[in-house]
Structure 1
Amino acid sequence: MADTYLELVNTPLPGRIARALGLPRPAVLRRYTPGEVLAPRPVLVAGAGAGADALADVLLGWDIEVRRHVLPGEKLSAAIVVLDRASSPTDLTGPLLELGQAVKLLVPGGRVVALFRSAADTTDPAEAAARQGVDGAIRSVAHELRGGATGNGIVLRGTATTTDPTTLGALRFLLSGKSAYVDGQFLEVTAVSADGVVDLAATTGAEGEGIPDQPLAGRTAVVTGAARGIGAKIAEVLARDGARVIAVDVPAAGEQLAAVANRVGGTALQLDITAPDAAARILEHVRGRYGALDVVVHNAGITRDKLLANMDAARWDSVIAVNIASQLRMNEQFLASPVFSESGRIISLASTSGIAGNRGQTNYAASKAGVIGMVRAQAAAFDGGARTINAVAPGFIETDMTAKIPPLTRQVARRLSSLQQGGLPVDVAEAIAFLASDAAAGINGQVVRVCGQNLVGA
C-alpha cells in the first residue's frame, strides 16, 4: 500500500507546510538500481592506523574518491569511521567528532559505517569499554541522520581485518542502495579462506567492472511462502541475482505461485511445509532438476493474533507449527542430505516482534524468537565450515497484511522508525540476497533487522 503522506511531503508546498508545523518529513529512500554507482560523491575514511589506510586504498581501487579528513562544504556520499585499534574510550574522541562534522555534509541517502572490533573478543576493561562505546555512538548517530541516510556498523571478530573479502562484502552492501531500510544495525564478520568469497579487494567498484552482476549465478534457491508479498519479492531478487528459484507454497495458492515461478523463470512446488515429507519432496525436486540445493529461504509464516488471555490451543499450535517447528524439521533433513551444498546458506525470516514482543502476538513472538534461537544454535555447529545460517527480522513492511491495520495505527507505525516510514518487501529481499551470496561468507548466526531502526534503544 502506498504511503500517501510520504509522497505528499516530498512535493514542494506540502513539504514546506510539514516543515513549518514540525511534522515528520520522511525522505524517499535511495534503493538499488542495476548498474548504480556506489558513491558518486567522495567518501570520508576517518580514523588512524594501518586498517584505515588499507581500507582507503581499497576504496580508491573501487574508483571512489576518498577523503581522509573533512573538507568544509564538500558533499559526501558516505562517511566511514575506522576504530579497529581503539583501546580506550579516549581513542574515540577525534574520529567520532570528525564524523559529527561529516554527517552535516552527507547527500540524501548518504551512508555512515563504522568498523571496529568486538567487545566480546577482549578481557581488557578499557578496550572493551571503547569497543562497546562505538556501538552506542553509532546507534545514536543513526537516530540523528536525516534525508534517508543510514548509520550501521561492521564488527570485526577474531582475526578479521578491515580489508578481508567478507568485511568488504559487508561494507559494499551497507554503502549500496540494497541496504536502504537497514539502519542502526551491526554485522559481525569473521575471516574466511580466500577461496570462500569473491575477492572484492582485488576488483574495482566502477560500474560493470569486477563486481559480479549476478552473484548467485549457478545457485539453486528454495523460497517458501513464495506466492505473494515478501516471499514473491525474495524470489524475484534472487532470480535477478542469477539464482535458479524453486517457489514453494500451499496448494491453495497454486495459481499465484505459478505466476511467480513463471515471472522469475523458476519452478513451482505446491506443498504444505508442516507435512512430515515436505523436506523430502523439496530435495527430490531439486535432485531431479538441478542436482544441488545451495540456498534455503524459510519465509513462510502465519499470524493468529489474540491476547494471551483469549488464546486457544488451535491458534497457538498452528503458528508454532508453521513458523518454527517446520523449519527445525526441514533443516534437520536438509543438513543430513548430500543434495544440500557443503557451502549452503540458510536464511530464516524472524521478526522484530520476536525481539521486542508485540501486544496480542504471544504465539507469533514466541515462534519468531524461536527462529532466532534456532539460528544461533545451528551457527555454532557450522562454525569453521563453509555453511552459514542467519535470520532477517523485518519491522513494519508495506504488505497486504499491514494494509489491513487501522489507518491511524498504520500511520503511527510508519513514523516510529528513524527513517519515519515503512519498508518495502524489496528491502527484506535485498538483505536475504546479500546473506545468500559469497560476500556474506563470514557472517554466521546473525540477526539482521530490516526495520529502519524502529526499536527504541536498539
Structure 2
Amino acid sequence: MADRYQKFTSGAVGGFAARRLGLPRPELLRRFRPGDRALVGPVLTAGGGRLGKELAAVLEAAGAETGPAASPGALVFDATGLTESAELARMYGFFHDRIRTLAPCGRVLILGTPPDRTGSAREAVAQKAIEGFVRSVGKELRRGATANLLQVAPDAPGAIESAVRFLLSARSAYVSGQVLALGTVPAHSAEPAASAAAASSLASTDPTWSWEKPLAGRKAVVTGAARGIGAVIARTLARDGAFVLCVDVPGQAAALTDVAAAVRGEAMELDITSATAVPALGARLRREDLGGVDLFVHNAGVTRDKTLGRMDRTQWDTVLDVNLRAVETLTAALLDPADPLLRPGGRIVCTSSINGIAGAAGQTNYAASKAGLIGLVQALAPRVADQLGGTVNAVAPGFIETRMTAAVPLFVREAGRRMNSLRQGGQPIDVAEAVAFLAAPGSGRINGQTLRVCGQSLLGA
C-alpha cells in the first residue's frame, strides 16, 4: 500500500512545505536487494572492549570500508570494556563528536554485555545504562538511520557475525531501538556459529553454504503463507536458499499454489487448528525427500477485533485457537522427545506483535495470543537448545503495510504510520528479513528473544 504522504514530502514541493510547517519527513528507507554490498559504509569503530578483534574480523570478512569518513554509514562502539558508570563518558564522547555526520539510512550499533552476566554491580549498572542511551539515540536520529544494542555474553565467542551483518545492513531497515542478546541461553549441543572464524569450516562441510545463500540445503515450513507477510517470508527464505513448504487453509488454495510455484517449493492445504493437523503435517515432513524440517515459521494468524464487553466467545476462541493454541500443539510435535519433526540445530520462529507487548483497545484476544507466543519462546528456549541444539525466537512487527492495515480508518492508519522513530510504516519484507536472520546458521546463539520490527514504535517498552 502506497504511503502518499511520504511520497509527497520526498519531493521538492512537499519537502519544502513540510520543513516550513514543521511536519515529519519520512526518509525513503534503503532496503536490501540481491547484489548490494553486505554492509552500509564506511564503518567507524571505537571502544576498545573485549570484542574489538572479533568485530574487526567480521568487518573485514564482510568487505566493509573502515576508517575515518566525513559522512560515515555506520558508527560502532564496543562498550564491553565499560565497567563503571564514569566510563560511559567515553561512549558519549565518541557519538557526540560524530552523530550529526551519520549518513542517511546510517547505522548506530553498540556492543555490550548482558547486565546479568557482568562481574560486578558497578559493571551491571554501566551496561544497563547503555540500553537507555541506545533507545534515546534511536529517537533522536533522522533520515532513516537506526540505533541498536547487541549484548554478547562473555562465554559466546565467535557469535557476533550474523547479528552484526544484519544490523549493519539494509536488511534491518525497520529495526531500531532494540536490544538483542547473544549467548544468554546455554546451547549445549548447538551447531557451530557462522562467524568469521567458523565460516570456512561450514563452507568446507557444505559447499553450497555462503553468506549470499545462508539457508542453502535447509527445509522450511511457513504457515499462513498464501498472502501478506507469510508469502513474503516464503519468498525471502527461498531467496536465501531454503526449500519452503507453504501452508495455509484450503480456502486460500489458489493463492497458496501461486506462492509455492514462485518459490519452487510445495503447497500444503491445512487447517492448523484441526485435529488432523499434526498427523497430516508429520506425514508430510517425514517423507524421504524432506526428512524433517530445519526451520518452522509460525506465521498464521487472524484478528476478530471487538472491545471486551462486545466480544463474543466465538471471536475469542477463534483468535486464541489459530494464533496460540495451534502453535503450542504444532510445536509440541516439532519437539516430541520420541520422534521430533525439528532436525538437530533447527529453528522455530513465531510471529508475535507489538500489540502483544503494549496491548491495544479492541484486541484483548489478539494481544493475549501474541503475548502468549512471547511466553512460549521464553519458556522453550532452554529445552530447544538442550534437546536439539536449536533455537526458538519471535519477531514482533509494528505497523506493517498490508491489506489488513489498508482497511484501517485513514486517521488511525496515519497515526500508526507516524508513531515510531522512522515516521513510517514498515513493509512485509522487513519482517521477512528478520525471520531469515533468526533462521540463519550464524544466529545459533540468539535464543529466547523477541525482535521487534517496528521502526522503534512509541508504543510499549
Name the TM-score, length of structure 2 as normaliser. 0.93
Q: Is the 8 A contact 1:227 1:247 kept in 2?
A: yes
Give the partner amino acid of 2:332.
E
Q: Is the 8 A contact 1:62 1:203 kept in 2?
A: no
Measured after TM superposition, the shift of residue 60 of structure 1 is: 3.4
1: distance between equivalents of 2:61 and 2:392? 31
What's the offset of the Cα at 1:282? 1.5
Paired residues for 1:219-298 under 5 Å: 219-288=218-287, 289-298=289-298
Contact 1:414–1:420 (Cα < 8 Å) also in 2: yes
Distance 1:160 1:137, change over 3 A: same
Gap change, CA 1:201 and 1:25, over 3 Å in 2: farther
**Does the residue aligned with 1:147 lie in a helix, a strand or coil?**
coil
CA-based RMSD? 2.0
Q: Which is worse superposed, 415-424 or 114-123?
A: 114-123
1:24-173 to structure 2, matched below 5 A, reads: 24-39=24-39, 41-67=41-67, 71=68, 74-122=70-118, 124-161=120-157, 164=158, 166-173=159-166
SS in 1 for 2:105: strand
Which residue does 1:330 correspond to in 2?
A: 330
Cα distance in structure 2, aligned partners of 1:423 and 1:339: 33
User: 2:39 touches 2:62 (CA, 8 Å); kept in 1?
Assistant: no
Within 1, Cα distance between the matches of 2:425 and 2:344? Answer: 37
Match of 1:433 among 433, 436, 439: 436
SS at match of 2:97: helix
**Structure 1's 342 and 13: CA in aligned 2 closer, same or farther, altered over 3 A?**
same
1:183 to 167, 176, 181: 176
Instruction: Give the Cα–Cα distance (whole angstroms) in 1 for the partners of residues 221 and 306 of structure 2.
Output: 31
Residue 373 (structure 2) aligns with = 371
Please say which of residues 399-408 and 331-340 is displaced more in the overlay: 331-340
| Alpha-carbon distance, 1:334 to partner | 1.5
Identity among equivalent pairs (%): 45
Aligned pairs, how many?
Answer: 447
Structure 1 stretches of 5 or more lacking a match?
A: 205-209
Q: Quote the offset at 1:418 in angstroms.
A: 0.2
Whether the aligned pair in 2 keeps the contact of 1:29 and 1:109 (CA below 8 Å) is yes
1:5-44: per-residue Cα shift (whole Å, max 9, x none)?
A: 1111111111111111100100011111112113463211
**Deviation sequence 1:229-268 (CA, Å, 0-9, x none):** 0010011001101111111011011111111111111111
CA–CA separation in structure 2 for the residues paired with 1:102 and 1:216: 37
Contact 2:244/2:265 (8 A) holds in 1: yes
For 1:277 and 1:456, the matched residues in 2 are separated by: 39
Q: Is the 8 A contact 2:333 2:341 kept in 1?
A: no
| Letter in structure 2 aligned against 1:155 | Q
Deviates more, 1:445-454 or 1:93-102: 93-102
Whether the 8 Å CA contact 1:169–1:200 is kept in 2: the answer is: no
Cα gap change, 1:424/1:86 in structure 2, threshold over 3 Å: closer, same or farther?
Answer: same
Alignment of structure 1 residues 356-435 onto 2, 5 Å:
356-384=358-386, 385-435=388-438
Match of 1:358, SS? coil
Structure 1 range deviating more: 275-284 or 437-446:
275-284
- Partners of 2:65 and 2:165 lie apart in 1 by 15
Partner of 1:207: none
Name 1:354's counterpart in structure 2.
Answer: 356
Cα pair 1:196 1:386 within 8 Å, conserved:
no
| Partner Cα separation in structure 2 for residue 426 and residue 189 of structure 1 | 24
State the AA in 1 paired with 2:428: P
Distance 1:310 1:403 in 2: 24
Identify the range of structure 1 (49-58 vs 306-315) with the bigger mean alpha-carbon deviation: 49-58
The alpha carbon displacement at 1:123 in A equals 6.5
**1:110-164 Cα shifts (integer Å, max 9, x gaps):** 1011100011223632111101000110010011111111101111124124xx1
Instruction: Pick closer, same or farther for the CA change 1:322–1:425 going to 2, 3 Å.
Output: same
Distance 1:123 1:390, change over 3 A: same
Q: Secondary structure at the match of 2:241?
A: coil
Per-residue deviation, 1:457:
6.7
Equivalent residue number for residue 320 of structure 1: 320
Equivalent-residue separation in structure 1 for 2:225 and 2:254 (angstroms): 12
Distance 1:62 1:236, change over 3 A: closer
8 Å contact kept, 1:261–1:267: yes
Partners of 1:348 and 1:201 lie apart in 2 by 30
Tell me how far apart the structure 2 counterparts of residues 66 and 194 of structure 1 sit (CA, whole Å): 32
SS across alignment from 2:452: strand
Provide the C-alpha distance between the structure 2 equivalents of 1:171 and 1:129, rounded to a whole number of angstroms: 24
Q: TM-score, normalised by structure 1?
A: 0.93
Q: What letter is aligned with 1:84?
A: T
Quick one: which amino acid aligns to residue 231 of structure 1?
G
Q: 1:51 to 1:199 in 2, by over 3 A?
A: closer
Q: CA deviation at 1:456?
A: 4.5
Going from structure 1 to structure 2, the CA distance change for 1:49 and 1:274 (only over 3 Å counts) comes to closer
